[in-house]
Structure 1
Amino acid sequence: MKMELSMKNTLMETLGIEVVSATPQQVTLSMPVDERTHQPMGFLHGGASVALAESAASIASFLNIDARTHQIFGLEINANHMKSVRSGNVYGTAKPFHIGKTTMVWEISIKDEEDRLISISRCTVGVVPLKQA
């Protein structure tokens, strides 16, 4: 199934998140580090990193379901921030730990333009059948 997602009028559009590559086994997104994603002290906001991570896991999960019969929802996410960054772009790459019928678990590494690890997250996603009308 080809990706049929629109980023228009979403948090992803607001934060400037873009899809770099997307397959069922790996999704990479980019996000600018600028006034949209800074915390008050001028560094990348940890919450923006978590939004990038969950976005990558959600798109990866979507690519592993039949959207005609199922939907996905984030159930849990955690993050550890290792390094700060003030400018440039960061890249979040989601890789699967588990792809199941009712849940998926993704590891998302966020790196800067020099491939330095900024943050690592794990996101659990629920796979929910659509209600029949």
Structure 2
Amino acid sequence: MEHVEVGPDKVVVRFTITEHHLQPFGIPHGGIYCAVHESTASTAGQVWLGRKGVVVGTNNSTDFIRQATLGDTITVTATPIHRGRTQQLWHLDSIGPDGRLVAQGQVRLANLDKEIPPEALAAFGLDPEA
């Protein structure tokens, strides 16, 4: 997964469908979209929440609209629907190389009142010493 844009109000990632993403019938497994959606929403939610806690996924709902094929590059964009004190809800669009919607989803995150591990701070570009 390549992070194209990372900010508190939008995260955009890209990935390419490889043989590892195919189910036995040769089409992309829906789980790849679910996994990328949750990862993208979690990144967005954590960047928005910052040092105030840790986000964890509590629900992931993904609809598969049309089939991508081997070699297709998919662009996933996460945008907020709701961001509150205890939870967040993010909308995700997965767009194929032709600009058409491949999958669409929502991921709900819980904002936990926990200290962020130093290695996680570094992964999100936050100074562990600050």
Q: What code does the residue aligned with 2:58 have?
A: L
Pairing 1:83-102 to 2, within 5 Å after superposition: 83-87=66-70, 88-102=72-86
TM-score, normalised to structure 1, is 0.82
Aligned to 2:64: 81
Identity rate of aligned residues, in percent? Answer: 24
Deviation >4 Å, runs of 4+:
none
1:25 aligns with 2:2: no
More helix by share: 2
TM-score, normalised to structure 2, is 0.83
Gaps of 5+ in 2: 116-130
* In structure 1, C-alpha distance between the alignment counterparts of 2:74 and 2:29, rounded to whole Å: 12
Gaps of 5+ in 1: 1-16
CA drift at 1:45: 1.0
Which of the numbers 103, 111, 117 marks the counterpart of 2:101?
117
Aligned to 2:33: 49
Aligned to 1:12: none
2:49 is paired with a residue whose SS is: coil
Q: What code does the residue aligned with 2:75 have?
A: Y
Kindly report the root-mean-square deviation, in angstroms, between the aligned alpha carbons of the 2 structures: 1.1
1:40 aligns with 2:24: yes
CA drift at 1:35: 1.1
* In structure 1, C-alpha distance between the alignment counterparts of 2:98 and 2:104, rounded to whole Å: 16
1:65 is paired with a residue whose SS is: helix
CA drift at 1:66: 2.6
Count of aligned pairs between the two proteins:
114
1:49 is paired with a residue whose SS is: helix
